[in-house]
C-alpha cells in the first residue's frame, strides 16, 4: 500500500501497528546527530555513573542515575561493556548503550531534529490530538557488544490512560539483521497491554504484569518481520506493538535515535518510571 497520503498512512498504521518511511532524514541530518552524540560521550565522565542498561533484568536499572534521567542527558553503558576486573573491554566511545532521556529538550541539535513540523503533521494524521515529546534516546547498538532489546510494548514504559504512546525511531546508520535491526509482530498492537514498568511506592521499580501470556517465540514462522532500514528511515511504532531488536554481532555499529510522544489529552500516571519535574514539564512541538 502506498504511504503517500494521510489516509493511506493511517490505514497501514492501524492495520500493522507500524509505518516505515524511507528517506525521512537527510544524510547531513543523520551525520549531525551522530557527531553530536559523539561529543556528548566524549564529555562524559564514566565515574559519574556505573549504571548498566539492561532490558533482560529490569531490576538492575532501578538506580538513581536511571530513575532521575527523565529530564536529563545521561549516558548508559552496554551490559557487556565491562571485563570481570571492572575495566572497559572497548574504548569508552564504543561502550555506551544509549544516551537518554531528554535530548530533545536539552540539546539544540536534537531539539531541532525532534520538533520537525513533518513529525507534528504525521502524528496528527495518526490521530494524536496534542502530542507531548515525553522521552528521547540515542541508541548506539555497538559493534560486537550491542545488546538485545527483548520483545516489549512501548506503552509498558510510557503508559498513559488510555494508552497513546507513539515511537518515532530514526535509523541514523543502516540497520540490518546482522547489526541488530528492529523486528516487529505486525498486527500485534491489537492484543492489549501485557505489563507496566512502574515506580514502587518505597523506591525502585517493578514490572506489573497485566496479561501473563508470553509473546510467541521470536521467529519469522511466528509472524515476526525484520524492519531493515537504510540510514534516514523513520519507523513509526504504535505503543502497543510488540517489537524487539537482536544483539549486534557484526563489526558495524547501528546508531538510531528515538523520540516517544504521548497525547496530552490522556492522563500520565504518577507511578510511570519516567517523570518530569513540574519546573521542566514535557512540551509539544
Per CB under 5 A, does 263 bind Fe ion? no
What the block records as the C-alpha cell of 22 is 524511507
> Could you give the CA distance from residue 97 to residue 51 in angstroms, rounded to a whole number?
10
What the block records as the C-alpha cell of 123 is 502524528
> Could you give the CA distance from residue 275 to residue 68 in angstroms, rounded to a whole number?
8
C-alpha torsion sign, points 231, 233, 237, 243: negative
Query: How many binding residues for Fe ion (CB under 5 A)?
Result: 1
Q: Which is nearer to Fe ion, 166 or 203 (CB)?
A: 166
Question: φ, ψ for residue 112 (rounded to 5)?
Answer: -60, -50
Q: Where are the alpha helices (DSSP H) in the chain?
A: 6-16, 27-42, 64-67, 103-106, 108-114, 117-125, 154-157
Q: Tell the smallest beta-carbon distance from residue 128 to Fe ion (Å).
A: 17
**Choices 49-57, 74-82, 135-143, 146-154 (CB under 5 A): range interacting with Fe ion:** 146-154
Q: Tell the smallest beta-carbon distance from residue 221 to Fe ion (Å).
A: 23
Q: Which is nearer to Fe ion, 50 or 209 (CB)?
A: 209
Per CB under 5 A, does 154 bind Fe ion? yes
**Choices 33-41, 46-54, 150-158, 209-217 (CB under 5 A): range interacting with Fe ion:** 150-158
Q: Which is nearer to Fe ion, 199 or 238 (CB)?
A: 238
Q: Which is nearer to Fe ion, 113 or 197 (CB)?
A: 197
Q: Tell the smallest beta-carbon distance from residue 45 to Fe ion (Å).
A: 28
Q: Which is nearer to Fe ion, 145 or 258 (CB)?
A: 258
The count of other CB atoms within 10 Å of the CB of residue 84 is 5
Sites of contact with Fe ion (CB under 5 A) = 154
Amino acid at each position: 500500500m502506498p504511504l503517500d497520503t494521510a489516509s493511506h498512512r493511517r490505514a497501514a498504521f492501524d492495520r500493522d501497528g507500524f509505518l516505515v518511511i524511507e528517506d525521512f532524514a537527510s544524510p547531513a541530518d543523520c551525520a549531525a546527530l551522530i557527531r553530536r552524540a559523539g561529543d556528548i560521550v566524549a564529555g562524559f565522565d564514566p565515574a559519574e555513573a556505573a549504571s548498566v542498561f539492561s532490558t533482560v533484568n529490569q531490576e538492575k536499572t532501578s538506580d538513581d542515575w536511571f530513575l532521575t534521567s527523565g529530564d536529563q542527558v545521561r549516558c548508559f553503558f552496554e551490559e557487556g561493556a565491562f571485563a570481570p576486573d571492572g575495566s572497559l573491554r572497548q574504548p569508552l566511545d564504543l561502550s555506551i548503550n544509549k544516551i537518554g532521556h531528554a535530548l530533545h529538550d536539552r540539546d539544540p541539535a536534537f531539539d531541532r531534529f525532534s520538533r520537525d513540523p513533518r513529525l507534528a503533521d504525521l502524528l496528527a494524521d495518526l490521530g494524536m490530538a496534542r502530542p507531548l515529546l515525553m522521552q528521547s534516546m540515542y541508541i548506539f547498538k555497538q559493534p560486537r557488544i550491542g545488546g538485545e532489546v527483548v520483545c516489549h510494548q512501548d506503552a509498558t514504559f510510557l503508559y498513559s490512560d488510555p494508552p497513546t504512546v507513539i515511537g518515532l525511531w530514526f535509523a541514523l546508520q543502516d540497520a540490518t539483521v546482522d547489526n541488530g535491526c528492529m523486528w516487529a509482530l505486525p498486527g500485534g498492537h491489537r492484543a492489549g497491554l501485557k505489563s507496566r514498568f512502574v515506580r514502587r511506592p518505597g523506591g525502585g521499580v517493578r514490572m506489573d504484569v497485566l496479561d501473563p501470556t508470553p509473546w510467541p517465540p521470536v521467529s519469522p514462522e511466528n509472524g515476526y518481520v525484520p524492519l531493515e532500514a537504510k540510514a534516514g528511515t523513520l519507523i513509526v511504532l504504535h505503543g502497543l506493538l510488540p517489537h524487539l531488536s537482536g544483539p549486534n554481532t557484526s563489526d558495524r555499529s547501528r546508531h538510531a535515535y528515538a523520540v516517544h510522544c504521548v497525547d496530552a489529552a490522556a492522563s500520565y500516571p504518577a507511578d510511570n518510571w519516567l517523570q518530569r519535574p513540574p519546573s521542566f514539564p514535557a512540551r509539544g512541538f
